[in-house]
Amino acid sequence: MAADQPSSARTRVVLAEAAARRAATDRAGIDLTEQTPVGEALVKGLVRAQLALALRLSLVVLTGLGTLPLLFVAAPGVGEFRVAGVPLPWLLLGLLSFPFLVGVGALYVRWAERNEQDFASVIRRPER
Residue 28: CB atoms within 10 A of its CB come to 20
The model's pLDDT over 14-63, given as tens digits with 9 standing for 90+, comes to 666 555 555 555 566 666 666 777 778 888 888 999 999 999 999 999 99
Sign for the pseudo-dihedral over CA of 111, 116, 121, 127: positive
Predicted local distance difference test score (pLDDT) of residue 107: 96
Q: Which residues, including other chains, have CB under 8 Å from residue 72's CB and lie 6 or more apart?
A: 78, 79, 88, 89
Q: What is the DSSP letter of 7?
A: P
CB within 8 Å of 100: residues ≥ 6 apart:
61, 64, 65
Element (H, E) at 90: none
Beta-carbon count within 10 A of 72 CB = 19
- Please state the rounded mean pLDDT for residues 113-122: 88
Domain ranges for the chain: 15-124
CA distance 67 to 8: 81
Query: What are the pLDDT digits (tens) for 52-103?
Result: 999 999 999 999 988 888 888 888 888 788 888 888 788 888 888 999 999 9
Q: What is the pTM of this model?
A: 0.65
- In angstroms, the CA 108 to CA 34 distance is 30
pLDDT per position as a tens digit, 54-68 = 999 999 999 998 888
